[in-house]
Amino acid sequence: MAAEATLIPRKTSGLKRLFERFPFLPALVILVVLFALNGFYQPRSIGLVGITGLLKTYMPLMLLAVAQTYVVYAGDIDLSVGAIVSLVNVTIIVLMQQWGGEALPVLGAMAVGIGVGLACGIINGIVVAAFRLQAIVATFATSIFFTGLALYVLPVAGAPAPAAFWRTYGGRFAEIPFVFYVVVVLAVLLYLLARTRLATQLLAVGDDAQGAFQSGLPVTAIRMKGYALCGLFAALAAFCVTGDTASGDPLVGGKMTLSAVAAVVLGGSALSGGFGTVVGSVIGALIIGLISSLVYFMGTPSEWQNLVQGLAILLALMAGILVGRRARA
Protein backbone atom coordinates (compact mmCIF):
# COMPACT_ATOMS: atom_id res chain seq x y z
CA MET A 1 0.00 0.00 0.00
CA ALA A 2 2.59 2.47 1.09
CA ALA A 3 4.81 1.58 -1.84
CA GLU A 4 1.99 2.19 -4.29
CA ALA A 5 1.33 5.54 -2.79
CA THR A 6 4.90 6.67 -3.28
CA LEU A 7 5.03 5.35 -6.83
CA ILE A 8 2.07 7.35 -8.06
CA PRO A 9 1.92 10.40 -5.84
CA ARG A 10 0.04 12.60 -8.27
CA LYS A 11 -3.18 10.59 -8.12
CA THR A 12 -3.30 10.74 -4.33
CA SER A 13 -6.44 12.62 -3.39
CA GLY A 14 -7.06 13.96 0.08
CA LEU A 15 -9.68 11.33 0.80
CA LYS A 16 -7.39 8.56 -0.29
CA ARG A 17 -4.62 9.74 1.98
CA LEU A 18 -7.10 9.92 4.82
CA PHE A 19 -8.13 6.29 4.27
CA GLU A 20 -4.56 5.17 4.00
CA ARG A 21 -3.73 6.78 7.27
CA PHE A 22 -6.96 5.66 8.96
CA PRO A 23 -8.15 2.44 7.28
CA PHE A 24 -10.83 2.06 9.92
CA LEU A 25 -12.74 5.16 8.75
CA PRO A 26 -15.53 3.20 6.98
CA ALA A 27 -16.01 1.16 10.15
CA LEU A 28 -16.12 4.34 12.19
CA VAL A 29 -18.83 5.75 9.95
CA ILE A 30 -20.85 2.54 10.33
CA LEU A 31 -20.36 2.71 14.09
CA VAL A 32 -21.67 6.27 14.25
CA VAL A 33 -24.69 5.35 12.12
CA LEU A 34 -25.45 2.32 14.30
CA PHE A 35 -25.05 4.41 17.41
CA ALA A 36 -27.50 6.98 16.10
CA LEU A 37 -30.01 4.29 15.09
CA ASN A 38 -29.78 2.67 18.52
CA GLY A 39 -30.41 6.06 20.09
CA PHE A 40 -33.33 6.65 17.77
CA TYR A 41 -35.08 3.42 18.69
CA GLN A 42 -34.13 3.32 22.36
CA PRO A 43 -32.88 6.70 23.64
CA ARG A 44 -31.85 5.16 26.94
CA SER A 45 -29.38 2.85 25.21
CA ILE A 46 -27.06 5.76 24.41
CA GLY A 47 -27.31 7.44 27.80
CA LEU A 48 -24.43 7.16 30.25
CA VAL A 49 -25.85 3.97 31.77
CA GLY A 50 -26.41 2.48 28.34
CA ILE A 51 -22.90 3.26 27.11
CA THR A 52 -21.34 2.02 30.33
CA GLY A 53 -23.28 -1.22 29.90
CA LEU A 54 -22.22 -1.49 26.26
CA LEU A 55 -18.56 -1.03 27.15
CA LYS A 56 -18.72 -3.43 30.08
CA THR A 57 -20.40 -6.08 27.96
CA TYR A 58 -18.22 -5.76 24.89
CA MET A 59 -14.86 -4.94 26.47
CA PRO A 60 -13.95 -8.67 26.38
CA LEU A 61 -14.79 -8.86 22.68
CA MET A 62 -12.86 -5.66 21.97
CA LEU A 63 -9.78 -7.05 23.69
CA LEU A 64 -10.18 -10.38 21.98
CA ALA A 65 -10.49 -8.67 18.60
CA VAL A 66 -7.28 -6.78 19.37
CA ALA A 67 -5.63 -10.08 20.31
CA GLN A 68 -6.73 -11.60 17.02
CA THR A 69 -5.53 -8.56 15.06
CA TYR A 70 -1.89 -9.12 15.98
CA VAL A 71 -1.84 -12.62 14.50
CA VAL A 72 -3.93 -11.51 11.53
CA TYR A 73 -1.30 -8.80 10.88
CA ALA A 74 1.14 -11.58 10.07
CA GLY A 75 -1.37 -13.41 7.89
CA ASP A 76 -2.05 -16.01 10.61
CA ILE A 77 -5.23 -16.72 12.53
CA ASP A 78 -5.95 -17.95 16.05
CA LEU A 79 -9.09 -20.00 16.56
CA SER A 80 -8.16 -20.74 20.16
CA VAL A 81 -8.61 -17.22 21.59
CA GLY A 82 -12.01 -18.09 23.06
CA ALA A 83 -10.63 -21.22 24.70
CA ILE A 84 -7.76 -19.17 26.16
CA VAL A 85 -10.35 -16.81 27.64
CA SER A 86 -12.10 -19.77 29.28
CA LEU A 87 -8.86 -21.23 30.59
CA VAL A 88 -7.64 -17.94 32.08
CA ASN A 89 -11.10 -17.29 33.51
CA VAL A 90 -11.27 -20.59 35.42
CA THR A 91 -7.61 -20.39 36.44
CA ILE A 92 -7.89 -17.01 38.14
CA ILE A 93 -11.24 -17.92 39.68
CA VAL A 94 -9.86 -21.10 41.24
CA LEU A 95 -6.72 -19.32 42.43
CA MET A 96 -8.68 -16.43 43.94
CA GLN A 97 -10.84 -18.96 45.76
CA GLN A 98 -7.83 -20.75 47.18
CA TRP A 99 -5.79 -17.69 48.02
CA GLY A 100 -8.64 -15.51 49.27
CA GLY A 101 -10.25 -12.37 47.93
CA GLU A 102 -7.91 -9.65 49.26
CA ALA A 103 -6.07 -7.28 46.98
CA LEU A 104 -2.71 -9.07 46.99
CA PRO A 105 -3.97 -12.60 46.19
CA VAL A 106 -6.27 -11.17 43.52
CA LEU A 107 -3.35 -9.42 41.86
CA GLY A 108 -1.30 -12.59 42.21
CA ALA A 109 -4.02 -14.63 40.51
CA MET A 110 -4.18 -12.07 37.72
CA ALA A 111 -0.42 -12.31 37.26
CA VAL A 112 -0.76 -16.09 36.91
CA GLY A 113 -3.62 -15.50 34.49
CA ILE A 114 -1.38 -13.32 32.31
CA GLY A 115 1.21 -16.08 32.45
CA VAL A 116 -1.33 -18.69 31.36
CA GLY A 117 -2.47 -16.51 28.45
CA LEU A 118 1.12 -15.94 27.37
CA ALA A 119 1.91 -19.63 27.64
CA CYS A 120 -1.10 -20.55 25.49
CA GLY A 121 -0.03 -17.96 22.94
CA ILE A 122 3.51 -19.30 22.88
CA ILE A 123 2.23 -22.87 22.43
CA ASN A 124 0.18 -21.67 19.45
CA GLY A 125 3.23 -19.85 18.14
CA ILE A 126 5.41 -22.93 18.39
CA VAL A 127 2.83 -25.15 16.70
CA VAL A 128 2.14 -22.72 13.88
CA ALA A 129 5.40 -20.87 13.28
CA ALA A 130 8.01 -23.40 14.35
CA PHE A 131 6.27 -26.67 13.35
CA ARG A 132 4.72 -24.95 10.32
CA LEU A 133 1.25 -26.43 10.73
CA GLN A 134 -1.64 -24.62 9.05
CA ALA A 135 -2.70 -21.92 11.51
CA ILE A 136 -6.43 -22.46 11.08
CA VAL A 137 -6.28 -26.19 11.83
CA ALA A 138 -3.51 -26.09 14.42
CA THR A 139 -5.20 -23.44 16.55
CA PHE A 140 -8.51 -25.26 16.21
CA ALA A 141 -6.75 -28.27 17.72
CA THR A 142 -5.13 -26.24 20.51
CA SER A 143 -8.54 -24.70 21.23
CA ILE A 144 -9.86 -28.18 22.03
CA PHE A 145 -6.78 -28.81 24.17
CA PHE A 146 -7.19 -25.53 26.09
CA THR A 147 -10.90 -26.21 26.62
CA GLY A 148 -9.97 -29.63 27.99
CA LEU A 149 -7.54 -27.99 30.40
CA ALA A 150 -10.20 -25.50 31.48
CA LEU A 151 -12.62 -28.38 32.16
CA TYR A 152 -9.89 -30.05 34.21
CA VAL A 153 -9.31 -26.91 36.28
CA LEU A 154 -13.03 -26.32 36.84
CA PRO A 155 -15.28 -29.19 35.69
CA VAL A 156 -18.60 -27.33 35.98
CA ALA A 157 -19.36 -23.63 35.85
CA GLY A 158 -20.06 -22.25 39.24
CA ALA A 159 -17.26 -20.86 41.38
CA PRO A 160 -17.96 -17.21 42.28
CA ALA A 161 -15.37 -14.42 41.97
CA PRO A 162 -14.49 -12.43 45.10
CA ALA A 163 -16.86 -9.49 45.47
CA ALA A 164 -13.95 -7.04 45.42
CA PHE A 165 -13.06 -8.19 41.93
CA TRP A 166 -16.35 -7.73 40.14
CA ARG A 167 -17.44 -4.76 42.23
CA THR A 168 -14.33 -3.01 40.95
CA TYR A 169 -15.07 -3.82 37.33
CA GLY A 170 -18.72 -2.88 37.64
CA GLY A 171 -18.15 0.03 40.01
CA ARG A 172 -17.02 3.64 39.88
CA PHE A 173 -13.97 5.67 40.83
CA ALA A 174 -14.44 9.38 41.47
CA GLU A 175 -17.96 9.12 40.00
CA ILE A 176 -16.64 7.72 36.71
CA PRO A 177 -17.41 4.08 35.85
CA PHE A 178 -14.32 1.90 36.12
CA VAL A 179 -14.72 0.62 32.59
CA PHE A 180 -13.91 4.09 31.20
CA TYR A 181 -10.50 3.88 32.88
CA VAL A 182 -10.06 0.52 31.18
CA VAL A 183 -10.80 2.20 27.85
CA VAL A 184 -8.16 4.89 28.52
CA VAL A 185 -5.53 2.34 29.57
CA LEU A 186 -6.34 0.24 26.50
CA ALA A 187 -6.02 3.28 24.24
CA VAL A 188 -2.61 4.15 25.67
CA LEU A 189 -1.48 0.53 25.46
CA LEU A 190 -2.57 0.21 21.83
CA TYR A 191 -0.91 3.52 20.96
CA LEU A 192 2.38 2.41 22.48
CA LEU A 193 2.19 -1.04 20.85
CA ALA A 194 1.45 0.48 17.45
CA ARG A 195 4.72 2.41 17.70
CA THR A 196 6.82 -0.66 18.47
CA ARG A 197 8.99 -2.41 15.94
CA LEU A 198 7.00 -5.64 16.48
CA ALA A 199 3.79 -4.20 14.98
CA THR A 200 5.65 -3.14 11.84
CA GLN A 201 7.47 -6.46 11.63
CA LEU A 202 4.21 -8.43 11.92
CA LEU A 203 2.71 -6.38 9.12
CA ALA A 204 5.82 -6.90 7.01
CA VAL A 205 5.62 -10.67 7.50
CA GLY A 206 1.93 -10.65 6.62
CA ASP A 207 2.50 -8.52 3.54
CA ASP A 208 5.21 -10.75 2.11
CA ALA A 209 6.68 -13.45 4.34
CA GLN A 210 9.23 -14.47 1.73
CA GLY A 211 10.39 -10.91 1.22
CA ALA A 212 10.56 -10.32 4.94
CA PHE A 213 12.68 -13.44 5.35
CA GLN A 214 14.99 -12.46 2.52
CA SER A 215 15.48 -9.02 3.95
CA GLY A 216 16.76 -10.65 7.11
CA LEU A 217 13.75 -10.56 9.43
CA PRO A 218 13.45 -13.51 11.85
CA VAL A 219 10.03 -14.51 10.49
CA THR A 220 9.46 -17.49 12.79
CA ALA A 221 10.27 -15.50 15.91
CA ILE A 222 8.09 -12.61 14.79
CA ARG A 223 5.08 -14.83 14.17
CA MET A 224 5.59 -16.47 17.57
CA LYS A 225 5.70 -13.06 19.21
CA GLY A 226 2.43 -12.24 17.46
CA TYR A 227 0.80 -15.31 18.99
CA ALA A 228 2.28 -14.50 22.40
CA LEU A 229 0.84 -10.99 22.21
CA CYS A 230 -2.48 -12.53 21.19
CA GLY A 231 -2.43 -14.81 24.25
CA LEU A 232 -1.65 -11.83 26.44
CA PHE A 233 -4.63 -9.84 25.20
CA ALA A 234 -6.86 -12.91 25.45
CA ALA A 235 -5.88 -13.04 29.14
CA LEU A 236 -6.87 -9.37 29.52
CA ALA A 237 -10.19 -10.19 27.83
CA ALA A 238 -10.64 -13.00 30.35
CA PHE A 239 -10.19 -10.50 33.21
CA CYS A 240 -13.03 -8.41 31.79
CA VAL A 241 -15.22 -11.48 31.27
CA THR A 242 -14.55 -12.42 34.87
CA GLY A 243 -15.34 -8.87 35.97
CA ASP A 244 -18.63 -8.82 34.12
CA THR A 245 -19.73 -12.35 34.98
CA ALA A 246 -18.24 -12.67 38.47
CA SER A 247 -17.73 -16.38 38.07
CA GLY A 248 -15.79 -19.19 36.49
CA ASP A 249 -17.20 -21.05 33.50
CA PRO A 250 -15.00 -23.49 31.54
CA LEU A 251 -17.07 -22.90 28.38
CA VAL A 252 -17.53 -19.12 28.66
CA GLY A 253 -15.25 -18.00 25.83
CA GLY A 254 -15.85 -20.70 23.24
CA LYS A 255 -18.39 -18.85 21.16
CA MET A 256 -16.43 -15.58 21.23
CA THR A 257 -13.70 -16.74 18.85
CA LEU A 258 -15.48 -16.20 15.57
CA SER A 259 -17.03 -12.94 16.77
CA ALA A 260 -13.49 -11.73 17.35
CA VAL A 261 -12.44 -12.72 13.83
CA ALA A 262 -15.51 -10.98 12.43
CA ALA A 263 -14.67 -7.84 14.43
CA VAL A 264 -11.17 -7.80 12.95
CA VAL A 265 -12.50 -7.98 9.40
CA LEU A 266 -15.25 -5.43 10.10
CA GLY A 267 -12.50 -3.11 11.32
CA GLY A 268 -10.88 -3.11 7.92
CA SER A 269 -7.98 -5.51 8.50
CA ALA A 270 -7.14 -8.00 5.78
CA LEU A 271 -7.25 -11.67 6.86
CA SER A 272 -4.48 -12.28 4.32
CA GLY A 273 -2.24 -10.14 6.51
CA GLY A 274 -0.09 -7.11 6.00
CA PHE A 275 -2.81 -4.53 6.38
CA GLY A 276 -4.96 -3.39 9.25
CA THR A 277 -5.32 -1.53 12.52
CA VAL A 278 -6.17 -2.54 16.06
CA VAL A 279 -8.41 0.51 16.42
CA GLY A 280 -10.50 -0.88 13.56
CA SER A 281 -10.90 -4.17 15.44
CA VAL A 282 -12.09 -2.36 18.56
CA ILE A 283 -14.64 -0.53 16.43
CA GLY A 284 -15.58 -3.81 14.76
CA ALA A 285 -16.34 -5.38 18.15
CA LEU A 286 -18.59 -2.45 19.04
CA ILE A 287 -20.33 -2.74 15.65
CA ILE A 288 -21.18 -6.38 16.40
CA GLY A 289 -22.56 -5.36 19.79
CA LEU A 290 -24.59 -2.45 18.46
CA ILE A 291 -26.01 -4.50 15.59
CA SER A 292 -27.38 -7.14 17.94
CA SER A 293 -29.03 -4.60 20.22
CA LEU A 294 -30.36 -2.62 17.25
CA VAL A 295 -31.95 -5.76 15.81
CA TYR A 296 -33.86 -6.08 19.05
CA PHE A 297 -34.70 -2.39 19.57
CA MET A 298 -36.11 -2.23 16.04
CA GLY A 299 -38.65 -4.83 17.10
CA THR A 300 -37.50 -7.68 14.86
CA PRO A 301 -39.60 -10.81 15.55
CA SER A 302 -37.58 -13.42 17.42
CA GLU A 303 -37.53 -15.97 14.63
CA TRP A 304 -35.88 -13.42 12.32
CA GLN A 305 -33.34 -12.01 14.76
CA ASN A 306 -30.51 -14.36 13.83
CA LEU A 307 -31.12 -13.81 10.14
CA VAL A 308 -31.34 -10.02 10.36
CA GLN A 309 -28.27 -9.88 12.58
CA GLY A 310 -26.29 -11.98 10.12
CA LEU A 311 -27.47 -9.88 7.18
CA ALA A 312 -26.62 -6.66 9.00
CA ILE A 313 -23.09 -7.86 9.75
CA LEU A 314 -22.75 -8.91 6.12
CA LEU A 315 -23.96 -5.48 4.97
CA ALA A 316 -21.55 -3.75 7.31
CA LEU A 317 -18.72 -5.89 5.93
CA MET A 318 -19.68 -5.11 2.35
CA ALA A 319 -20.12 -1.42 2.99
CA GLY A 320 -16.76 -1.23 4.71
CA ILE A 321 -14.95 -3.07 1.97
CA LEU A 322 -16.65 -1.21 -0.91
CA VAL A 323 -16.08 2.20 0.61
CA GLY A 324 -12.53 1.33 1.56
CA ARG A 325 -11.74 -0.03 -1.90
CA ARG A 326 -13.17 2.98 -3.71
CA ALA A 327 -11.35 5.39 -1.45
CA ARG A 328 -8.06 3.63 -1.92
CA ALA A 329 -8.39 3.00 -5.64
Residues making contact with other proteins (CB under 8 A): 37, 40-42, 44-45, 49-50, 53-54, 57-58, 60-61, 82, 151, 155-160, 166, 170, 241, 244-256, 259, 289, 292-293, 295-303, 305-306, 309
**Among residues 255, 237, 86, 99, which one has the least CA distance to residue 162?**
99
Give whole-number Cα distances, 216 to 148, 196, 202, 205, 209, in Å.
Answer: 39, 18, 14, 11, 11
Instruction: Closer to other proteins by CB, 40 or 173: give it.
Output: 40
Q: How far is the CB of 129 from other proteins (least distance, A)?
A: 28
CB atoms within 10 A of CB 272: 10
C-alpha to C-alpha distance for 29 and 139, rounded to whole angstroms: 33
Instruction: Closer to other proteins by CB, 30 or 209: give it.
Output: 30
Q: How far is the CB of 304 from other proteins (least distance, A)?
A: 10
Instruction: Closer to other proteins by CB, 253 or 273: give it.
Output: 253
Instruction: Closer to other proteins by CB, 23 or 60: give it.
Output: 60
How many alpha carbons fall within 13 Å on the CB side of residue 168? 16
Q: How far is the CB of 269 from other proteins (least distance, A)?
A: 21
The residues that bridge with 177 in the sheet, in sequence order, are: 172
Instruction: Closer to other proteins by CB, 161 or 229: give it.
Output: 161
Q: How far is the CB of 185 from other proteins (least distance, A)?
A: 20
Instruction: Closer to other proteins by CB, 49 or 184: give it.
Output: 49
Contact predicate 101/163, CB 8 Å: yes
Q: How far is the CB of 89 from other proteins (least distance, A)?
A: 10
Q: Under DSSP, is residue 160 helix (H, G, I), strand (E, B) or coil?
A: strand
C-alpha to C-alpha distance for 199 and 206, rounded to whole angstroms: 11
> Exposed, middle or buried by CB within 10 Å (0-12, 13-18, 19+), for 90?
buried
Give whole-number Cα distances, 313 to 65, 159, 189, 241, 262, in Å.
Answer: 15, 35, 28, 23, 9
Give whole-number Cα distances, 233 to 3, 57, 62, 306, 329, in Å.
Answer: 31, 16, 10, 29, 34
Q: How far is the CB of 298 from other proteins (least distance, A)?
A: 5
Instruction: Closer to other proteins by CB, 215 or 302: give it.
Output: 302
Q: How far is the CB of 264 from other proteins (least distance, A)?
A: 16
Q: Which helix (H) or strand (E) holds 172?
A: strand 172-173
